[in-house]
């Protein structure tokens, strides 16, 4: 890549011409473990786990690389979610037997539009790392 090409790419990344500067956000509804609903706006292509950072506590995950199968959510409305990838299906089936689409892994499920609604089974417990009961 030429120096000009590198400069153009960097300008695009920081939002100064030549690149995508508009950020698309969609409403995603989470039904929390206590039954309350909370709708957040999340960027397109975020995973549900990433979108959950806008909740009082994020969805509990068990690993850094999407291989533990611990961040299962129940899908109440799959509008706005990308179809499950082969890797999501493999991880899901390794830990939870048969994949049928009614449950997804929050760290794999990507947001592609508005309307998704999921039930969160477990939120991250901040007290567990603070050492308080």
Structural domain spans, the chain: 22-126
Query: Any residues with CB less than 8 A from the CB of 82 and at least 6 apart, and which?
Result: 109, 110, 111, 112
Interatomic CA distance for residues 112 and 83, integer angstroms? 10
What's the pLDDT tens digit per position in 24-39?
999 999 999 999 999 9
Q: pLDDT band for 20, please (50, 70, 90 cuts).
A: low
pLDDT at 97: 86
Interatomic CA distance for residues 16 and 20, integer angstroms? 9
Q: Give the residue from 10, 107, 23 showing the smallest Cα distance to 61.
A: 107
Q: pLDDT band for 93, please (50, 70, 90 cuts).
A: very high
Interatomic CA distance for residues 39 and 26, integer angstroms? 10
Give mean pLDDT, residues 86-114: 95
Q: pLDDT band for 125, please (50, 70, 90 cuts).
A: confident
CATH 3.90.600.10 assigned to domain 22-126? The reply is no
């Amino acid at each position: 890549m030429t120096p000009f090409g590198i400069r153009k790419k960097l300008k695009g990344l920081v939002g100064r011409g030549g690149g995508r500067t508009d950020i698309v956000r969609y409403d995603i509804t989470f039904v929390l473990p206590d039954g309350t609903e909370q709708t957040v706006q999340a960027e397109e292509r975020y995973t549900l786990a990433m979108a959950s950072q806008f909740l009082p506590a994020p969805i509990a995950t068990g690993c850094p690389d999407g291989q533990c199968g611990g961040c299962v959510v129940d899908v109440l409305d799959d509008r706005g979610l990308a179809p499950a990838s082969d890797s999501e299906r493999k991880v899901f089936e390794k830990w939870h037997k048969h994949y049928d689409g009614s449950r997804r892994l929050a760290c794999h499920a990507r947001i592609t539009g508005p309307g998704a609604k999921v039930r969160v089974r477990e939120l991250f417990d901040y007290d567990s790392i603070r050492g308080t009961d």
